[in-house]
Structure 1
Amino acid sequence: METLKINLRGLVPAILLMAACSATAHAADAQAAAQPKPAIVVLGDSLSAEYGLPRDTGWVNLLRDKLAKERFDYSVANSSISGDTTSGGRARLTAVLSRLKPAVVIVELGANDALRGVPLATTETNLRSIVDASQAAHAKVLLIGMYVPPNYGPDYTQKFHAVYERIAKDKNVPLVPFLLAGIADKPAMFQADQIHPTVQAQPLLLENVWPTLKPLLGASASH
């Protein structure tokens, strides 16, 4: 009987240790579950803000589905406003960075600058500031380029697009050359205004973005 008492006595610390380890593991799991997902912020204009589209059918929402399908554990915040310019995006970026603390910022701005005749130098300055501020906030940046309609003239069209190429090179950020690649010459892919893509075009927009975005993301849960 005495031996049995000694053995039981010896088991008590071990049982307590196992219980403590189990509680620690549960606490760690709970803490991990409580950690917010890293955020991808899309800072854009009407091309990303679902202008004229049914809710949740734009390419940004399709990106959420794509991330889930490929098991990338990111949230997506659509900070796009129809009609926004690079000046507008620059003005509201500080609040966006402070509130969302994104891991990735996708910058899709500039088309409205061209439509409003904003000087190219102003557009470039604003885009550079957006990239600088995002990088200073420890976010990776993906820049989405844009071409303006040919009626602006080939010289202006080339100079406008060159702004994106120059910034991408200078700031060492990846560039999606043209969000509307593959649909720009297809009127059926645009709404009646011939400016904003239709619902059917949205998967194509995502296809233009995804190959350049994917390398910026951490390993998927399946790896």
Structure 2
Amino acid sequence: MAGVLKAGSPSYGHWRVLVQALALAAALALGAGERASAHTLSLVVLGDSLTAGYGLPPGKAFPDQLQAALGARGWDVKVVNAGVSGDTAGDGLARYDWAVPADANALIVELGANDMLRGLPPERTKAALAAILDKAKAAHLPTLIAGMRAAPNLGPEYAHAFDAIYPALAGATGASLYPFFLDGVAGDPALNQPDGLHPTAAGAAAIVNRILPSVEDLLRRAKS
């Protein structure tokens, strides 16, 4: 048959080398793809007791349940619980350099509730959060800031100033914004512990369910 390559001919030798080269290239590409898919993303949640899991059994804090939910959706991610009960935004800033490792891939900032409960000046909270976001931006770390809202008993003037912190910072720094971390949970006795401030395990699950699309967007940014 015309055009058939015969073993031993120069053309056959060239063809064989070409096929081997293509096979090697394909194998290398497949190996690279497998290595990329095996890379576990590191997502740090820098927060207060709402992140730390105050009053919750092991494995039921927000970061734990978030990792489980992301895993169920196919994400290879380790969610690091960098929450400390009682922390203000200033406290979070003070420990940022050791709480957020250099190899982190993404960051969620959940701070400000204790500032509000203590009636700290909103401009002070805003300055601390801005410094945290500036650090993350300098490290090219995709960040989601979770907002908080002032309690009604603090008055409308305080509430107006405090509630405006989070959208203003997201707009100024390019961070993603989840407007209210306790959305759908705050004020619901069935989803909060007896103190009325900290979510139950079911409450943490409700937070995860609502924030999950925003976190997935954050992880897509980290991967890109």
- In which range does the TM-score fall when normalised by the shorter chain? 0.7 to 0.9
Measure how far apart 1:175 and its partner are.
Answer: 1.0
Distance 1:204 1:198 in 2: 10
Distance, in Å, in 2 between the alignment partners of 1:174 and 1:161 is 16
Residue 52 of structure 2 corresponds to 49
Residues 88, 113 of structure 2: 8 Å contact kept: yes
1:72-83 map, 5 Å: 72-83=75-86
Q: Any conservation in 2 of the 1:179–1:208 contact (CA below 8 Å)?
A: no
The answer to whether the aligner puts 1:190 opposite 2:192 as a matched pair is: yes
- Residues 115-134 of structure 1: matches in 2 within 5 Å? 115-134=117-136
Q: How many residue pairs are counted as aligned between the two chains?
A: 214
Give 1:153's match in structure 2, choosing from 137, 152, 155: 155
State the 1:161 CA deviation: 0.9
User: Aligned partner of 1:59: which letter?
Assistant: F
What letter corresponds to residue 178 of structure 2 in structure 1? V
Specify the SS of the correspondent of 1:175.
strand
**Residue number in structure 2 paired with 1:85:** 88
Once the 2 structures are TM-superposed, how far is the Cα of residue 116 of structure 1 from its aligned partner? 2.2
Cα deviations by residue, 1:140-193 (Å, 9 ceiling, x for unpaired): 010000012211112212211101111111112221111111122312321111
Corresponding residue of 1:3: none
Q: Helix, strand or coil: the match of 1:156? A: helix
Matches within 5 A, 1:95-114: 95-97=98-100, 99-114=101-116
**1:63-85, CA deviations, whole angstroms, 9 ceiling, x for partnerless residues?**
11121111122221111111111
Structure 2 distance, partners of 1:204, 1:84, is 23
Quick check: 1:72–1:218 contact (8 Å CA) kept in 2? Answer: no
Note the alpha carbon deviations across 1:2-28, whole angstroms, 9 max, x for none: xxxx99xx9xx98xx89xx59x85xx5
Is the partner of 1:79 in helix, strand or coil?
Answer: strand
How far residue 38 of structure 1 moved from its aligned partner, in angstroms, is 2.1
1:141-220, aligned counterparts within 5 Å? 141-218=143-220
- 1:87-130 CA distance string (max 9 Å, x none): 11111111233x35222110000011122232211110110110
Shift in CA distance, 210/134, structure 1 to aligned 2, threshold 3 Å: same
Two-structure CA RMSD over aligned residues (Å): 3.1
Where 2:107 maps in the other structure, the secondary structure is strand
Other-structure match for 1:69:
72
Unaligned runs of 5+ in 2: 1-7
CA pair 71-129 structure 1, distance change in 2 beyond 3 A: same
Normalised to the residue count of structure 2, the TM-score between the two structures is 0.81
Q: Distance in 2 between matches of 1:87 and 1:38?
A: 27
TM-score by length of 1: 0.81
- 1:85 partner letter: T
Letter in 2 for 1:39: S
Shift of 1:212: 1.6
Give the conservation status (yes or no) of the 8 Å contact 1:42–1:105.
Answer: yes
